[in-house]
Structure 1
Amino acid sequence: MSEQMSERIKNYINTLENNLDKAYSVAIKSRSLGFDPEDEVDIPLTKTLPERVEKLVASAVPGLKESGLSERISELEKEYGAQAWEVAMIIALEVAQQKFCKFQNSKDAMEAGIRTGFAYATMGIVSAPLEGFIELRIKKRKDGKEYFAMVYAGPVRGAGGTAAAVSLLIADYVRVKMGYGAYDADENEKSRAFVELTDYHERVTNLQYKPSEEETKYLQSHLPVEIDGDPTEEIDVSNYKDLPRIATNRIRGGMCLVLSMVALKAPKLWKAVSKIQSQFEIQWSFLSEFIALQKKMKAQTSGSNDAGRKILPDYTYIADLVAGRPVLSFPLRSGGFRLRYGRSRVSGFSAASLHPSSLFVLDKYIATGTQLKTERPGKAAAITVCDSIEPPVVKLLDGSVVRLEHADKHIEGIAEIIYLGDMLISYGDFYDRAHPLIPAGYCEEWYSQEFEAACKEKFNTTDPEILSSELGISPKIISGILKSPLTKYPNAKESIMLSMNLGVPLHPRFTPYFSQIAPHDLNDLNSWLQKGKLHFEGNSLEKIVLPMDHSKRHLEILGVPHKVISGEKIVVEKDEANVLFVLFRLGDEKKELPKFDDPVELINSFSPVKVRDKAGTFIGARMGRPEKSKMRKLTGSPQTLFPVGNEGGRMRSFHEALSRGKIKSSFPLFYCASCQKDSIYRICINCRNKCEQRYYCRTCGVTAKQTCQHG
């Protein structure tokens, strides 16, 4: 226990451990009486990951118990780091080389080694290494050499996509070191894999990611280890049956899950494998080409048309859309959810935040806890709310445009959602999914850092009092920008003053979405704004009044709030009026905008105040699986503690079954030698002696042996 812990925490942990020990002693004593199916407590106590791995695998391979396995894992962790894939690969090989215990044959040793590495990759907390990975089969290549076939079953789902894919990496390392050949899939086996994936996806259950035919065949052609599986469904595959090296015609759920996960996790796999493959003498460079192919398939484009485009739209999240789950925004579509990096107190890993007004403008269809499938960084996110991010910008029924910070004011009068607002996503989600970071829009926390850097560079201080005297801005405002940028900000005039004095961009709160408008539309807007009437009160610009014109649409796309008066006049007031006045130099003589292909560069070349791209990247999203949040219960909430069968009636009532005097169900067979009576209990209810287990064969009847001549 760490010496840095307080006495209170130490006492708390000691209390937990002491009470746990007492509970285990009671459980051990209870199990020793023999009334339970097993005489030992199933879950062993462990404190570290290496101990968990050893005890988990030892339940299937008893020889590894107290063999020094956990100590060796701890040594490797010191060398490579905790939870490193290198540790899983090395420990798998050492078990396969029988360094910890002896096995009947090398196949059993290699299988145990792969289980051990797989258990480490899953942190020793799921049953997938024992129940999801069924066995290692040694099959023949066309040239007569032998190769590995990893046989999976449904419980491999519990490992998670990454760990399931890593199990193949572990197996391949063992294969290479033990001198076996690589898998050589033929055309029928490649086609069978795609057909089986399609059948599983369409006839059994939705895969998290269904690879295309091209992706599937590419993986089958290059994976050095075969992904095989036991039949998990009663349904046969629709085509490519009776293949010599595939033992069943039925759908193999485990195979489908793992193969789809390799496709889904390819970027994450390659990011890690590319650093270690030369050291471990494995060849997984094909993943690099596969990722390029995958991007092309996801973007639904030939690739050549988007050669100059760095970020391609990803349609995966809407590929298998189900009725009743609305699409909130399409891939990279302007006006969708704006990417914002960060996390609130209620968001985090696989949990994103939206502005409360975003939930309202979507007709309250999205609520806290709703699952959304997102375009980036992939997978899904549970939704929470955060009111310090960018709210939606909407157009009202009268044509006015407002920044909807308080949805209840205008919720009944919305005609169009121009911008949905921010989606706050943590960096960790991008890291976990191995998704490259993509451009985010200009935001308050970015502005705060640029402001701080500019103050240090020009005045060599960030003291609010000193800066106030130099800049002519309230110390309270300056302190707010530096310490609380999400809730404290300058007004438009102050922001313009700071931009001119420090050279920092215009504050993001007042920055229009210039990147969402075409340069020629910006010229139209400029010409229209020049026609506006400026209304001053003293030296202060209060509003700009503009005639109704088609250029109003450009103002809407920029996200600039304004009012429509009697359907004839457009009024831009106060902060927004001051921003447009400076950006378009409305006080000067009429000027034409210069020619630029990029609208942000165009406005920066013309305006005395610098602006940044406020839009960044828009993210597509749709509703996920709302029905999964419901409580799962059977009709009538029947109890299942006692096997009362049909005799318990519709409610599976224990009392109703008791009134009938008997039940029909499946029970184990036992025999008491002392009383010479059959029983369904391990302990005889008459003499309290331990009974002998019996088995049943349809031909032989009841037998004392677990196997007979019939199987």
Structure 2
Amino acid sequence: MVLVASDEMKSYFGDLEKRADDCYNLVSKARKAGFDPALEPEIPRAKDLAERVEAQVGPPGIAPRIRAVAKNNGRESTALILAKELAGELRSEGIEEALEQAVRTSLSILTEGVLVAPTEGVVRVSTMINQNNTRCAAIYYAGPIRAAGGTAQALSVLIADVVRRELGLDSYIPTPAEIERYKEEIPLYKRAVNLQYVPSSNEIDTIAKSCPICITGESTERIEVAGNRDLPRVETNSLRGGACLVLAEGLCLKAAKVLKHVDRLGISGWDFLRTYTEKKRETTSGNVKEHKYLKDVLAGRPIFAFPDKPGGFRLRYGRTRLAGLASMSIHPSTMLALDSFPAIGTQIKIQLPGKATAATPCDSIEGPSVLLKDGTFIRLDDYEKAKIVVDQIDRIIDIGEILVPVGEFIENNHPLEPSGWCTDWWDAIIKDSQIDAYDGEFDFASLLEFSKRHQVPLHPKYTYYWGDLDTKEINDLRNQLIRNGEQVKDNSFPLVYKEIFLRLGIFFRISDNSIILEDGVEPLFHTLGLEVKNNSLESSMDVLDTEDSVALISHLSGVIIKNRAPTRIGASMGRPEKAKERRMKPPPNVLFPLGEAGGSQRLVNTALKSSSKRGFSRGRPGIIEVETQLRYCKECRKETVSIHCCKTQTMVKDQARRRSVDVSELITKAMNNTRTGILPKIKGVKGLMSDQKVPECLEKGILRAKYDLRVYKDGTLRYDMIDLPITHFYPKEIGLTVDKAKQLGYLKD
């Protein structure tokens, strides 16, 4: 693989590879010592997608061909082209072998070689006989196919269809009973586990009747179907979770996406998807739009905003160093005001443009507008100030802006929505109008004069949420102000105006049971076409006959007024941010079985004082009875349960059963090997869950106990955290010195 990059970048990548090589060499050396079941690291290294696919599912030598095809094709096209080629090349090895290899390799390409779907999500691919004695293709799916996502699930069926044609197989012809089985099974699976989308009986019928590949699978749940049992071509009466996922969340939910690839690649025989999507469009066109983020809301996970409702997140286009790749930004004060439910990394389910996003902070957008307990209405754009007043918040009136990169709309194939009126747009309009940048004071009079002189919209600072009011409400407000003119002209409003000011986003404070506007009365009066005359308020403009609130305000004010918040995005909390060590309950230091000898805390230290109650070792401390495998050492010919002895790995002598184990001897050897003087408290486990029941060596337990490390059930030390994109960072943020940053290859700021 040729790397196209500058010399500096080549040096940087070369250093990363060298460091990775050093790590692998160290791990390989440690593995060869024989303290682990495997003598080599289990995780193969791969430089790119092609190498990952070859290492994951094969066939050997496929990587160069994947690279060559991928140069001029997208991932989906590459998968289809490779599938056809593999079918032809491997036909001599058998039709089923060629079919299975082509499907697995193509699915691995679609999932970028990093998911378990191609290996565990597809149990097998085989052929079966139709009622007319023709052979068709069948894919047996399992639960892990969920990891592939709906699009890849559906495309795996499309790929199988392309391959079966190449191999001369006929289409799958379902029996009426098999179609009815799907209709019963999918809703049952929804109730038992979960599905993002549950197709109707007619939708299932359309897809199942016409799909050229048999979508089946192994039993994944203990629940059985009531009808359509013991079918000749369905091996189980239990729920086939993988088949339900592929049919419902794959072909049904992603039909439109699959159809795009069908049309682009000119694949015949899939017109049933066009019929399906057209029928679905007809049935849903008259219905109220369903907002997926409000479905399946869990207790304890709040809804932050309802769809398109005033007070919800206001759309603003832009990006920060933490935004993009399904990550968006909100103001840190918003996080604080929402009781820190949306922390950095929290998954937030959103109305648009996609299904969900990860929360990241941006302090240069607008924060939440809140009403304090003393009646003051302010916007929290300063995080430090927000920390002071957070306990005084009575109501959140507006949740603030959400910064969304344009790429999120493009990636999710969602039309661009109107952006909120902000300083970015105001500056862009001035620049586009070839006007000198504004350098005056940001008071209302100066900005109004600038807008009128250059025919540009009024600055966002004095643009209120007029779009949230209808024209009747605006006219009612004008008339009420005119009636109260003598009182309000001096910036003293009765409390009856409180709710309308909150809706408009006009900031105020309460003094002597009167509302005092922070920006004075001039922005409000002028925008509504009112002026002070003879100690009262009078209308300076005729009312425009229109239903457009923003158009009415623009007419009354005599200057262009933009809609402050044309797009509001609803959101609810998804998965909370979780950054912590993954531990078992209770958390052990070593996967070494102690049975009842370890006491309630499962301590090796306690087991050393315990003694066997039967056999020749009866009464001797440090002898315990546990279920484990018996091994022997090739060097000293002694029997042991340890995987390591005499500086080499021991061999299996007898399968797992209950036997006496001398823990005191094993712990003495382990302390000598680790040069440990005083034995720390080491937590083991009650019993082993694996089939062969091979215990970990106690050396690992001693070292982990010293550093308070806990092992997970698969023998790894795990730390769970959220992946977030970041394009820039400050060395001080991660405790990195400038010298160390240069050593790592960061030469420029």
Q: TM-score range by the shorter chain?
A: 0.7 to 0.9
Task: Please name the residue that 1:701 is paired with.
Answer: none
Where does residue 222 of structure 2 map in the other structure?
234
Distance 2:397 2:278 in 1: 34
Number of residue pairs the alignment of both structures matches: 635
- CA spacing shift, 1:365–1:521, aligned 2, 3 Å: same
- The answer for the alignment partner of 1:261 in structure 2 is 249
Once residues 251 and 374 of structure 2 are traced to their aligned partners in structure 1, the CA distance between those partners, rounded to angstroms, is 50
Structure 1 portions without partners, runs of 5+: 59-63, 307-311, 478-489, 537-541, 697-711
Superposed CA deviations along residues 178-217 of structure 1, whole A, max 9, x for unmatched, are 444444556654554455444444434x445555666555
Q: Which residue in the other structure is 1:485 paired with?
A: none
Q: Structure 1 334/209 Cα, relative in aligned 2: closer, same or farther at 3 Å?
A: farther
Q: C-alpha distance in 1, partners of 2:191/2:333?
A: 37
Describe how 1:389-404 pairs up with structure 2 within 5 A: 389-397=365-373, 401-404=377-380
Instruction: Confirm or deny: 8 A CA contact 1:277 1:283 kept in the other structure.
Output: no
Indicate whether 1:88 and 2:79 are aligned: yes
Flag structure 2 segments of 5+ consecutive residues without an equivalent.
533-537, 613-622, 657-749
Question: Which residue matches 1:369?
Answer: 345
Q: Is the 8 A contact 2:529 2:539 kept in 1?
A: no
Alpha-carbon distance between aligned partners in 1 of 2:368 and 2:152, rounded to the nearest angstrom: 39
**Structure 2 equivalent of residue 430 of structure 1:** 409
How far apart are the structure 2 equivalents of 1:283 and 1:491? 67
SS of structure 2 residue aligned to 1:46:
coil
Match of 2:428 among 444, 449, 453: 449
Instruction: Name the counterpart of 2:707.
Output: none
Matched residue type, 1:120: I
1:445 CA displacement: 1.8
Aligned to 1:709: none
- Tell me which of 239, 250, 260 is aligned to 1:274: 260
Identify if the C-alpha distance between structure 1 residues 654 and 252 changes in structure 2 by more than 3 Å, giving closer, same or farther.
farther
User: What is the Cα deviation at residue 111 of structure 1?
Assistant: 0.9
1:381 alignment partner, one of 348, 351, 357: 357
Deviates more, 1:600-609 or 1:516-525: 600-609
Instruction: Report Cα offsets for 1:288-331 as digits up to 9, x if no partner.
Output: 6656777898xxxx64366xxxxx3x332222222222222223
Give 1:418's aligned residue.
397
> Which of 272-281 and 527-536 deviates more?
527-536
CA distance in 1, matches of 2:607, 2:633: 25
Task: Return the match for 2:121 from 116, 124, 132.
Answer: 132
**Alpha-carbon distance in 1 for matches of 2:525, 2:201:** 53
**Post-superposition offset of 1:128:** 2.2
One-letter amino acid of the counterpart of residue 258, structure 1 = V
Gap change, CA 1:329 and 1:183, over 3 Å in 2: farther
Kept after mapping to 1: 8 A contact 2:632/2:650 = no
Decide which of 435, 440, 461 is 2:419's aligned counterpart. Answer: 440
Contact 1:92–1:113 (CA under 8 A) maintained in structure 2: yes
Matched, 1:78 2:71: yes
CA RMSD of aligned residues (A): 4.2
Give the 3 Å change call, closer, same or farther, for CA 507–264 of structure 1 in structure 2: farther
- Choose the corresponding residue for 2:569, options 619, 624, 631: 619
Q: With CA pairs under 8 Å and 6+ residues apart, which has the higher RCO, 1 or 2?
A: 2
1:246 match: 234
- CA drift of 1:389 comes to 1.9
Q: Deviations over 1:500-521 (max 9, x none)?
A: 1222222223222222212211
- 1:326 aligns to what? 302
Query: 2-side partners of 1:532 and 1:509: how far apart?
Result: 26
1:227 touches 1:259 (CA, 8 Å); kept in 2?
Answer: yes
Instruction: Output one character per residue of 1:35-76: Cα deviation in whole Å (capped at 9) or x when no partner.
Output: 865676544433232222223223xxxxx323xx22222221
Note the alpha carbon deviations across 1:672-692, whole angstroms, 9 max, x for none. 9x9999998999x79999979
Query: After the TM superposition, which residues 684-699 of structure 1 pair with which residues of structure 2 at under 5 Å, given as runs?
Result: none
Question: Are 2:529 and 1:584 equivalent residues in the alignment?
Answer: yes
Find the counterpart in structure 2 of residue 65 from structure 1. 60
Q: Could you tell me the percent identity over the aligned residues?
A: 34
SS of residue matched to 1:50: helix
Aligned to 2:546, which of 596, 607, 610?
596
Q: CA deviation at 1:24?
A: 4.8
Q: Which amino acid aligns with 2:222?
A: E
Contact 1:331 1:620 in 2 (8 A): yes
Matches within 5 A, 1:101-500: 101=90, 103-141=92-130, 143-185=132-174, 189-190=178-179, 192-193=181-182, 195-204=184-193, 206-209=194-197, 216=204, 219-221=207-209, 223-237=211-225, 240-262=228-250, 266=254, 270-271=256-257, 273-274=259-260, 277-282=263-268, 284=270, 303-304=285-286, 312=289, 314-397=290-373, 401-405=377-381, 406-408=385-387, 411-454=390-433, 456=434, 459=435, 462=436, 464=437, 473-474=439-440, 490-500=442-452
SS in 2 for 1:574: coil
Q: Deviations over 1:355-406 (max 9, x none)?
A: 2332343344443333322222343333233222222233455665433435
- After TM superposition, give the deviation of residue 91 of structure 1 in Å: 0.4
Residue 296 and residue 362 in structure 1: after superposition, are their counterparts in 2 closer, same or farther (change >3 A)? farther
Deviation larger for 283-292 or 354-363: 283-292
SS of residue matched to 1:96: helix
Name the CA distance, whole Å, in 2 between partners of 1:369 and 1:22: 32
- Name the SS for the 1:97 alignment partner: helix
Partner amino acid, structure 1, of 2:323 = S
Q: Which sits farther off after the overlay, 239-248 or 495-504?
A: 239-248
- The alpha-carbon distance between structure 1 residues 436 and 144, as it changes in their structure 2 partners (threshold 3 A), is farther
**C-alpha contact 2:478 2:528 (8 A) present in aligned 1:** no
